[in-house]
Structure 1
Amino acid sequence: MITLNNVSVTFKGKETTIKAVENVQLTIEKGDVFGIVGYSGAGKSTLVRTINLLQRPSEGSVIVSGQDLLSLKPKELRAARKKIGMIFQHFNLMGSRTIAENVAYPLRKSGLTKPQIKEKVAALLQLVGLTDKSSAYPSQLSGGQKQRVAIARSLANDPEVLLCDEATSALDPKTTLSILELLKELNKKLALTIVIITHEMQVVKEICNKVAVMENGHVVEEGDLVSIFTEPKERITKDFINTSTHVDQALESILKHPTLLDLQTNDVLANISYVGASTSDPLIATLTTRFGITTNILFGNVEILQETPVGNLIVVLSGEPGRRDKALAYLQSKNVKVTLIHHHQRVIPLKKEHYIV
């Protein structure tokens, strides 16, 4: 559906040269909801703009629906762009036009008659849940409603691809979830391929089936959502994930709380993470009944990612070292990862094969 072949974007000034995107190779399949995540300045917004050539790459090629966009003539490129919708953080609505007129704007040279345009606009507003706002103006709408108008407008030319550049960054959490739910519905109803640019891993968790992580103009890691969340390889990916699962914040609070960390000689502090079928097993109870290991849960959460449960626990494991090692071997046999958490108190190290740092 979308292939970026060795795409680079370089901005040259009088005194400086900035490589905003460097040698990016990405393939996005039809029907994907593909997230591109990174901190500010990572190059993600520049990259997404190469998909419809709002930003022409300095090097590489951009293939969308089998067409090499860089080889198209101006008229052909205009036609190709109509099949690539785009929404932005700040909506970009025209304040002097009604909601219906905003949605109709892309259809002004479509060849449709006025009655046909009116009918299509009504259908689009119904699709995004704004039938009753047809005659209103943008200033009368909430932020979430404005973004729904922007989405309706982006769908006017029946695109195959929808690019979302930080489309929920200006919205509160509840409104963000409603917009993401709408995008999920559109992905299924219209077989729409969606590319989402964001700095929020929570957005990626809610909607994406695949994700690429960008840093300093490079894609440093990519894969399906569950694999990225359960087996991240790069430090920046781990940082994003820990922030979105609140493990970092929980650990920081725990380490600052002395009563929680009154560890004894045979105690260890650990992060237990598990995915899929393991989440339904009574793992903690088994550690006690079979191995005599007491587990004090200090933090825990389970999330559903692409219909796959993923769990995280921060625990104190208490028990004789030999029993503890057998318990950890049991967890390992269940595809459960145990990570030793280092801190200022004395901790008896786990055997190397039983944990991943």
Structure 2
Amino acid sequence: MISLSRINVTFNTGSRTVVAARDIDLRVDEGDVFGIVGYSGAGKSTLVRVMNLLQRPSSGDVVVNGQKLLELKPKELRSARKKIGMIFQHFNLMKSRTVYDNVLYPLKSSRMPKADKDRKVRELLELVGLSDKLASYPSQLSGGQKQRVAIARALANEPRILLCDEATSALDPKTTLSILDLLRDLNRKLGLTIVIITHEMQVVKEICNKVAVMEEGAIVEQGDIVSIFSEPKQPLTRDFIHTATHFGQTVEKIMSHPSLARMGDDDVLCKISYVGSRTSEAIVSDIATRFGVSANILFGNVEVLQQTPVGSLIVVLSGGRSELENALAYLRSLDVTVDRLDSPEKATLGGERIV
């Protein structure tokens, strides 16, 4: 569906050269809701514009819908872009036109009969839940309604792909969820492939099945959402995940409490992560029963990602050295992940991987 190979984008600003994308390989399959996440300046907006050649790469190959975009003539590229819709953070609606006319605008040059255009616009506005706003102007709409109009407009030419560049960043949390619900429905009903650019891992968690994490123009980690959330390999990825799950903030508060942070010399502070059916099993109480190890749960969290439970615990294990070693070996056999944390201060950062 979308294949980017060896993509580099550089900008020359006087005596300075800025690298916005470096050696990027990325594949988005048909039907994906693919998230690209990174902080401001990471290069993610540049990358999404490469996908429809609003930004031409300095080098590399761009293949979308089976077409090598860099080899197309201008007329062919304009035709190819009609199958790639795009929405933005600030909606980009025409203030002097009604909702109806904003959605109609992409069809102006179409040879479609007027009656068919009218029916198309009305169907799209019904699809996004705004059939009662035909005659309204953008100034009369809420932020969420404006974005729904932008989505309807982007769908006017029946694209196979929808690119969303920070499309929820200007919206409040409740409205953001409603827009993500709409995008999820469009993905299911229309078979629409969606690429979401965001600096919020919460957005990725809610809707995406795959994610790529960007930093300084490069993709530092990518994969399916369950694997990334359950076993992040890069510090930046862990940072984003902890923000989305509020894990780091919550654990930091817990561990700063003197009575909770107090540990014996032989105690083991660890983070236990598990996926799927393991989330419903009594793993902690099981090791207490089997090995006589005391387990003090300081924090627990479960997320459901793409219908798969992903859980994590911060636990203090207490007992004799041999009992603790046996308990950790047992955990190893259960296909769960244990990060041993050297100190309470490292509870939000990860530690030595022992399982």
Compute the TM-score of the two structures, normalised by the length of structure 1.
Answer: 0.94
> Alpha-carbon deviations, 1:28-70, whole Å to 9, x = none?
1111111111111110100100111111111112111111111
Distance 2:5 2:260 in 1: 51
1:304 aligned to 2:304? yes
Tell me the distance in 2 between the aligned counterparts of 1:334 and 1:169: 40
In the TM superposition, residue 288 of structure 1 has moved relative to its aligned partner by 2.1
The amino acid that maps onto 1:254 is I
Letter in 2 for 1:332: R
1:79/1:284 CA distance change after superposition, 3 Å: same
DSSP 3-state at the match of 2:103: helix
- CA deviations on 1:86-113 (whole Å, 9 max, x unpaired) are 0001111111111111111111011122
Secondary structure at 1:253's aligned position in 2?
helix
2:349 maps to what in 1? none
Find the aligned partners of 2:35 and 2:135 in 1 and give their Cα distance.
Answer: 34
Q: What amino acid sits opposite 1:259 in the alignment?
A: S
- Report what 1:81 is aligned to: 81
CA distance in 1 between counterparts of 2:3 and 2:57 reads 13
Secondary structure at 1:312 match in 2: strand
Q: Give 3-state SS (helix, strand or coil) of 2:260's partner.
A: coil
**What code does the residue aligned with 1:326 have?**
N
Tell me the CA shift for residue 326 of structure 1: 1.3
Cα deviation for residue 207 of structure 1 reads 0.9
Query: Match for residue 130 of structure 1?
Result: 130
2:41: which partner in 1? 41
Report the CA distance between 1:79 and its aligned residue.
0.6
Q: CA deviation at 1:181?
A: 1.0
Is residue 7 from structure 1 mapped to residue 4 from structure 2 by the alignment? no
What's the counterpart of residue 62 of structure 1? 62
Q: Does residue 1:98 correspond to 2:98, yes or no?
A: yes
SS of 1:134's partner is coil
Give the distance between the partners of 2:126 and 2:14, measured in 1 at CA.
Answer: 50
Change (3 A) 1:35 1:344: closer
State how many pairs are aligned.
Answer: 349
Tell me which amino acid in the other structure corresponds to 1:66. Answer: G
Conservation of the 8 A alpha-carbon contact between 1:51 and 1:62? yes
Q: What SS is found at the alignment partner of 2:204?
A: helix
- 2:327 counterpart residue number: 327
Where structure 1 has 5 or more consecutive residues not aligned to the other structure, the ranges are: 346-351
Over aligned residues, Cα RMSD in angstroms?
Answer: 1.5
**CA–CA separation in structure 2 for the residues paired with 1:3 and 1:336:** 34
- Does residue 287 (structure 1) correspond to residue 287 (structure 2)? The answer is yes
Shift of 1:268: 2.4
> Counterparts in 2 of 1:104-183, with a 5 A limit?
104-183=104-183
1:329-356, Cα deviation, whole Å (9 max, x unpaired) = 11111111221222279xxxxxx8x726
Deviation at 1:163, TM superposition (A): 0.2
Structure 2 unaligned spans of 5+ = 346-351
How far apart, in 2, do the equivalents of 1:326 and 1:296 lie?
A: 17
The aligned counterpart of 1:220 is 220
- The farther-off stretch of 256-265 and 39-48 is 256-265
Alpha-carbon distance between aligned partners in 1 of 2:342 and 2:328, rounded to the nearest angstrom: 17
- Change in Cα spacing, 1:150 to 1:309, as seen in structure 2 (3 Å) is same
Deviates more, 1:45-54 or 1:248-257: 248-257
- 1:222 alignment partner AA: Q
SS of 1:270's equivalent in the other structure is strand
User: Could you tell me whether the CA contact under 8 Å between 1:292 and 1:323 is conserved in 2?
Assistant: yes
Q: Which moved more, 1:224-233 or 1:123-132?
A: 224-233
Alpha-carbon offset, residue 311 of structure 1: 0.3
* 2:261/2:344 contact within 8 Å kept: no
- Structure 1 residue aligned with 2:348: none
CA shift for structure 1 position 267: 2.4
Give yes or no for contact 1:243–1:249 (8 Å, CA) kept in 2: yes
Partner of residue 273, structure 2: 273
Partner of 2:354: 355
Instruction: State the Cα deviation string for residues 237-271 of structure 1 (Å, max 9, x = none).
Output: 12212222222112221232111122234422221
1:233 is aligned with what amino acid? K
- Structure 2 residue identity aligned to 1:257: H
Change (3 A) 1:344 1:245: closer
TM norm structure 2: 0.95
The 1:315–1:344 alpha-carbon spacing in structure 2 relative to 1, beyond 3 Å, is closer
Q: Distance in 2 between matches of 1:174 and 1:181?
A: 11
Q: Structure 1 runs of 4+ off > 3 angstroms?
A: none
Q: Distance in 2 between matches of 1:117 and 1:167?
A: 26
After alignment, is 139-148 or 259-268 more displaced?
259-268
In structure 2, the residue corresponding to 1:133 is in which secondary structure? Answer: coil
SS in 2 for 1:27: strand
> Amino acid of the residue matched to residue 248 of structure 1?
G
- 8 Å CA contact 1:164–1:197 kept in 2: the answer is yes
Taking the aligned partners of 2:257 and 2:56, their CA distance within structure 1 comes to: 52
- State the SS of the aligned residue for 2:288: helix
- Post-superposition offset of 1:124: 0.3
Report the more deviating stretch, 253-262 or 49-58.
253-262
Q: Matched residue of 1:87: which SS?
A: strand
Contact 1:255 1:343 in 2 (8 A): no
Equivalence for 1:236? 236
